[in-house]
Structure 1
């Protein structure tokens, strides 16, 4: 008799997250830009006998390289430019503060900057990167001994970031030379939406449908971001831009119909995915679509209205495909993205909300405490030479960022990456010629950053090698040991502050996002029900698609926040228990609302089954909200057609 197999070893979530790495193809274009960024800047500065300014420019290029992610060129202007401006401002303020004020006022100033930057970071990814560079650069400006004054350092910082941004805008990416390479990122993003629609249609009626719908949401988010950058060469490229916007807009009704089909759950004809795939190829190659196959079977059109739940969705898919074909044949189209831009009021609300307050306080405590301890060590005779006290607060800034992973995972990865990077650099420093070998090491590290960003430990190791090389090129001694010691000290500070009780309810970031997602879902539902008699008007449909996009995007961001919170240590993870069940029910509510919208377009009224499902989902949300102790917006009172 065979023995039963031993149970598989299950790692705790916080440890499993630390061992997990992102996957995907190597971003060769970003690797080339990384190699041409910090290293050549530093080399030019050394040849011009302005090494210290070259070090500042290389630091800016390194931080910009961390933010150099896949996407369109125009979106990269904001993604790289806004954090660089914040970093230059931080360097300017930090330099003059470090020269003019004592240790205590400087610590208070840095603490105040931490509070502001932490609140800003709750607004979104670009704002988070800007807050990070603001704090890192302010610490560097206050603590790095350089001969130049503050405004010259800030200009060097901007020059380093502008150099990498210029490479991002000018250099073509692989496969982009077939057309206007300036829009290759936008074309690829829009084509990805049509590919995701095709994959969802293939998965309809299978267990993979939910995951495919989530992938469609991610593709739409990516395309939306790619098309919202600043307009470059407005008059020369306006026609091409408008066409891309129109192609994106044409994907919205297709995605809506595909989501409705996934909600029904009945498999669709295999040929239904052929049309979106041909549209994807036309966008990617900047060509005409040619003839498109009809997605639905002939007998689906002959069924009586309302006889079967799948018929309205099939007809909607057919109509959306014809609409897309017309949009693709036009020379130009509308530039309306069907999105609502974030206002100043929205930004202030995010900063002052529960998530912004909690994160701002933690960043302020970590940044201020690390700056105070670092300066105390700097003036302590028993500690020895301590020229790089800014390393401690700068390290704490990265460690306190929740968008880099759960707290325990961040600490483990940072410690392991720093030790590995410091040991590697010690070996390189022993054999490489100076400064030529160290400059080459900086260039190599810059090339590795786009690949290393897939795992925080790998990114930390590469950045450690690059920073230590910059320090030695600047004329200072090898500092691997002090780098390790201060990183471990920063890890301890962040771990302590991360578990301190704060005013208000814990898990504020997740709760704030869940609150926003619930509000967006309810607004979408209320619009579909309220405007059911007029949904055939194009303006009403455009608003419906805007609300639908906002609801799905808010839900996706909430899921990401919940996944990170659930991988925290148990003492922190317990504060967001029950949130995952609520967001799953909200997703089902939005899916059902989408199916109802398609059905209302077709017949003007809901079936009793759809009415009952909406009512049941709203009741279920109320129960889950009360059970988890969450404060969510009240569901709208709906007058359901039935």
Structure 2
């Protein structure tokens, strides 16, 4: 009899897990052309310190260079770069004018702010990280330039990578207008995800395909949300892409409703979305689309959505609205600027609530304690590279990089590997020419290594140690290992310290937002309102906030048991919310077709709402995370 396979604990399994996918060759080229050439120019003019700061800005920007549209990259790379330049200036000022105690207190205060802001989202998290890392480097790295000069050089390095991102073509650009290759690929992926969901209806993979469709819609929404795509489209190509994205929303709704019903579909049901995906990529007309049988409300909705998608594609984005809509789908209009690409404008009050809420307070406090403690210990050791210790702590304390123990293990292993590799290269390569080449190669490897935290750490360690030597400091591989291990110990200690209030604040806050979004979507559907654009926007927000909550829950569940227990039961809450939003989507499609719900729909809604209340109570989602239990007073 065979023995059952040994199951690894979640925290160890996460540390061994890596993302998969094709090599992002465009990002590899940009990485090779970013930090290395900047450093080379500075060495040639005999000003290596200028190149070190500029290369540092390019390197940190490279960690945020992810797949997507050019316009989305402006925010994704630009906002953290501005924060990093501000942090470098503040750090340089503190390092020049403050003593050890005031410097530690100042960095601790910055850690509190940077950590709390990081709870807002991925871009804010990148900005908070660069703010703190640059502040520590500015305070500790000996450089001849003034603080404002360092800030400008750092910003110039990041903007150089951003310029490469905006100018250099990608392989997809060879097919059509290179300005919109990222947007075009993102919209095509939505249609492919719809086709995959339709093909999986009635099978075990249906819910996984629905989650993949949510991810594709989120990615397309971000890709289309950059400058000049916010309100009025500035070209026919932009208008066409916006209309194609809008045409995918009713298709996604119909596919989700069909997945909810669970009845398997004929293979031809997925052919139409596949042809639309090809048409998006090639820019050609989609031609005739195979029509599904109109036997149930979901299939009738799918047929109507395919018809209107075909019209949108063939007319280049100028199309009529589907039956029951309050206006045209064209996302260039003011109405859809409110409802279509941007779910709801993020107001200052909402941002402040997120920063000062449970997630922001908990994250900010942990970052502040880790940064302050590591800065104090580093200065007490009187090490020439004391700034490495708090800078390492900043990266380690970030919860969006994975569970705490997983981050520590990967950081330690990556640093040891990177330091050993660099020591070997430094012994044989000529300085500074060989080190400049090493920086260029490391920059090219970052987009690939970013798939695993240990690999990313190893590559960045080689790059940073190269910059330090080019800047005139001695080789420091072994001290880098020691300070990283010390930072790991500090962050592990701070991460397990008891804290006032409930732990798991980030998970609870995201679940609260997902619950609010699900209730708002349900209320709109059952209100009888005839504004489909608003309904699709609320549906997008419900699924997007739910996906964010799911990601936070998955990370929390992979922590050590002492931390994972604080979020026990939240996965059950998220599962109930998923079923509630799916059922709401099925109700919306059925109401469009018949004007009324069946007893099956109302009973299912009432059951899920009661189940949601019960599971929230079991998970201990109380105090500021309380949400109305059953706002619609549905009863089974």
Shorter-chain TM band? over 0.9
Which of 189, 194, 200 does residue 191 from structure 2 map onto? 194
Matched, 1:316 2:310: no
- Residue deviations 1:97-136 (CA, integer Å, cap 9, x gap): 1101111111111100000000100000000000000000
- Residue deviations 1:176-221 (CA, integer Å, cap 9, x gap): 1221101000000000000000000000111110000000000000
Distance (whole Å) between structure 2 residues aligned to residue 226 and residue 210 of structure 1: 24
* Equivalent residue runs for 1:158-169 within 5 Å: 158-169=155-166
Distance (whole Å) between structure 1 residues aligned to residue 60 and residue 391 of structure 2: 12
Q: Is the 8 A contact 2:405 2:559 kept in 1?
A: yes
Matched, 1:137 2:134: yes
Query: Partner of 1:633 in structure 2?
Result: 627
Query: Partner of 1:381 in structure 2?
Result: none
Query: Partner of 2:22 in structure 1?
Result: 25
Matched, 1:46 2:37: no
Q: Is the 8 A contact 1:243 1:334 kept in 2?
A: no
Q: Residue 20 of structure 2 aligns to a residue in which SS?
A: coil
Which of 215, 219, 244 does residue 218 from structure 1 map onto? 215
- Residue deviations 1:503-535 (CA, integer Å, cap 9, x gap): 11001010111111111111111111112xx43
Deviation of the 1:476 alpha carbon:
1.1
Deviation of the 1:12 alpha carbon:
0.6
Q: Residue 37 of structure 1 aligns to a residue in which SS?
A: helix
Deviation of the 1:327 alpha carbon:
1.3
Distance (whole Å) between structure 1 residues aligned to residue 4 and residue 242 of structure 2: 52
Distance (whole Å) between structure 2 residues aligned to residue 597 and residue 196 of structure 1: 21
* Residues 234/622 of structure 1: CA separation in 2 closer, same or farther (3 Å cut): closer
- Residue deviations 1:216-260 (CA, integer Å, cap 9, x gap): 000000000000011289999433222211111110000000000
Matched, 1:366 2:370: yes
Matched, 1:268 2:272: no
Deviation of the 1:473 alpha carbon:
0.8
Query: Partner of 1:245 in structure 2?
Result: 242
Q: Residue 605 of structure 1 aligns to a residue in which SS?
A: coil
Q: Is the 8 A contact 2:606 2:635 kept in 1?
A: no
Alignment root-mean-square deviation, CA = 1.5
Distance (whole Å) between structure 2 residues aligned to residue 331 and residue 267 of structure 1: 33
Distance (whole Å) between structure 1 residues aligned to residue 565 and residue 635 of structure 2: 41
Q: TM-score, normalised by structure 1?
A: 0.94
Q: Is the 8 A contact 1:73 1:185 kept in 2?
A: yes
Which of 473, 480, 500 does residue 483 from structure 1 map onto? 480
- Residue deviations 1:41-78 (CA, integer Å, cap 9, x gap): 00001111211010001111111111000000000000
Distance (whole Å) between structure 1 residues aligned to residue 630 and residue 620 of structure 2: 20
Q: Is the 8 A contact 2:52 2:471 kept in 1?
A: yes
Q: Is the 8 A contact 2:522 2:584 kept in 1?
A: yes
Deviation of the 1:636 alpha carbon:
4.1
Which of 310, 323, 343 does residue 325 from structure 1 map onto? 310
Q: Residue 451 of structure 2 aligns to a residue in which SS?
A: coil
Q: Residue 373 of structure 2 aligns to a residue in which SS?
A: helix
Query: Partner of 1:552 in structure 2?
Result: 543
- Count the aligned residue pairs: 614
Structure 1: gaps spanning 5 or more residues: 302-310, 379-385
* Residues 135/89 of structure 1: CA separation in 2 closer, same or farther (3 Å cut): same
Query: Partner of 2:574 in structure 1?
Result: 583
Deviation of the 1:475 alpha carbon:
1.2
* Residues 235/44 of structure 1: CA separation in 2 closer, same or farther (3 Å cut): farther
Distance (whole Å) between structure 2 residues aligned to residue 15 and residue 325 of structure 1: 49
Distance (whole Å) between structure 2 residues aligned to residue 500 and residue 23 of structure 1: 35
Deviation of the 1:486 alpha carbon:
0.4
Query: Partner of 1:513 in structure 2?
Result: 510
Distance (whole Å) between structure 1 residues aligned to residue 517 and residue 536 of structure 2: 12
Which of 454, 458, 463 does residue 461 from structure 1 map onto? 458
Q: Is the 8 A contact 2:61 2:77 kept in 1?
A: yes
Deviation of the 1:356 alpha carbon:
0.3
Query: Partner of 1:306 in structure 2?
Result: none
Distance (whole Å) between structure 2 residues aligned to residue 558 and residue 18 of structure 1: 21
Distance (whole Å) between structure 1 residues aligned to residue 274 and residue 485 of structure 2: 51
Which of 76, 90, 94 does residue 93 from structure 1 map onto? 90
Structure 2: gaps spanning 5 or more residues: 318-329
Q: Is the 8 A contact 1:529 1:639 kept in 2?
A: no
- Residue deviations 1:589-611 (CA, integer Å, cap 9, x gap): 10001000100011111111111
Query: Partner of 2:401 in structure 1?
Result: 404
Q: Is the 8 A contact 2:29 2:444 kept in 1?
A: yes
* Equivalent residue runs for 1:339-350 within 5 Å: 339-350=343-354
Query: Partner of 2:596 in structure 1?
Result: 605
Deviation of the 1:370 alpha carbon:
0.7
Query: Partner of 2:151 in structure 1?
Result: 154
Query: Partner of 1:472 in structure 2?
Result: 469
Deviation of the 1:640 alpha carbon:
6.0
Distance (whole Å) between structure 1 residues aligned to residue 228 and residue 378 of structure 2: 44
Which of 556, 565, 582 does residue 574 from structure 1 map onto? 565
Q: Residue 568 of structure 1 aligns to a residue in which SS?
A: coil
Deviation of the 1:329 alpha carbon:
2.1
Query: Partner of 1:305 in structure 2?
Result: none
Query: Partner of 1:351 in structure 2?
Result: 355
Q: TM-score, normalised by structure 2?
A: 0.95
Which of 273, 289, 292 does residue 292 from structure 1 map onto? 289
Deviation of the 1:641 alpha carbon:
11
Query: Partner of 1:382 in structure 2?
Result: none
Deviation of the 1:270 alpha carbon:
1.2
Distance (whole Å) between structure 1 residues aligned to residue 157 and residue 587 of structure 2: 52
